[in-house]
Amino acid sequence: MKPPPLGSVAKETLVAARLAAHYAAQPLAAAAYAVLPMRDDHSHTNFRWKPDLGVLAGRPLDGGELRGFLDPARLRIGLLGREGELAGQDLTGLGLEEAFRWMEVALAEQGMAVPTSLELPAYDLPESSLAQGAPFPPGTDGGAELSAWFELGHQVLRGVAEELLGTSEVVLWPHHFDMAALCVLDEDTDAQQARSVNAGLSPGDGSYAEPYFYVTPWPKPASEALPRLASGKWHTAGFTAAVLEAPELRAQPNLRDAAMGFVRTSAQACLDIVTRC
């Protein structure tokens, strides 16, 4: 399925696709919580974008190659092995509870015993009728555009992470459903005290309905200490981050170069801020 050009899908359609994919990711996250050792930062539940398949793939569930996957374009979940897809399920028409039960059966068929019934992880998710049992909607061009955003985000963040942030790991978190690369300057310090810069792509949230790139300095700087940005703007309501919204990005002749330039210059600005802390 060839993704549509970014911006060709109505905002409402993209938002609906994002919510459906966010909830579709939860059976995968629940499987990781059920079978993998707990990590304090919950990183055992995160995903990586696989450009060759156009899917989000979780961490290995069996110490080998068995991973859960989500195809946002087709709204399909399943399990991957060394040779590719082992099991898959289109979610259209199914409820969230049915998706959890399907994942349990699929894991059992691969020889993995799930110690407890899979259920929605204990964190807040955006409001959706899916949480009350409504069926997943049919796939739309919104899902294909969402996948295109993840592909763009992966390309941009991987490039800047390797070049500037000293890390090559770009992961997507099932809680906020954002893709990010984190640079921690103080490795042996408590996470709440350690200086860091986090560069990411959100597919949309309560602050911005459409996707946006962001770069966040930590500790949170005072508003008057924020420098002028080459592009984008500073967001300071609830969280502090340099933000480049979809409408501004789509106005540029080359989206990838514009996004790369924003993340690169904003990451450098945030590194300068936190190194002065």
**What is the number of alpha carbons within 13 Å of residue 105 lying toward its C-beta?**
10
88-116: average pLDDT: 95
* pLDDT over 80 at 166, yes or no: no
User: Residue 9: how many CB atoms within 10 A of its CB?
Assistant: 21
* pLDDT over 70 at 112, yes or no: yes
Give backbone dihedrals phi and psi of 152, rounded to 5 degrees, phi first: -60, -45
| pLDDT category of residue 187 using cuts at 50, 70 and 90 | confident
Domain ranges of the chain: 11-132, 141-275
| pLDDT category of residue 191 using cuts at 50, 70 and 90 | confident
CA distances for 229 relative to 87, 150, 256, 258, 261, angstroms: 46, 24, 18, 13, 11
> How many angstroms separate the CA atoms of 151 and 153, rounded?
5
* pLDDT over 90 at 251, yes or no: yes
* pLDDT over 90 at 79, yes or no: yes
Q: Could you tell me if 28 and 58 are in contact, meaning their C-beta atoms sit under 8 angstroms apart? A: yes
pLDDT given for residue 105 in this prediction: 96
195-219: average pLDDT: 96
Q: Could you tell me if 21 and 15 are in contact, meaning their C-beta atoms sit under 8 angstroms apart? A: no
* pLDDT over 70 at 275, yes or no: yes
pLDDT given for residue 140 in this prediction: 82
pTM of the model: 0.95
pLDDT given for residue 164 in this prediction: 76
* pLDDT over 80 at 202, yes or no: yes
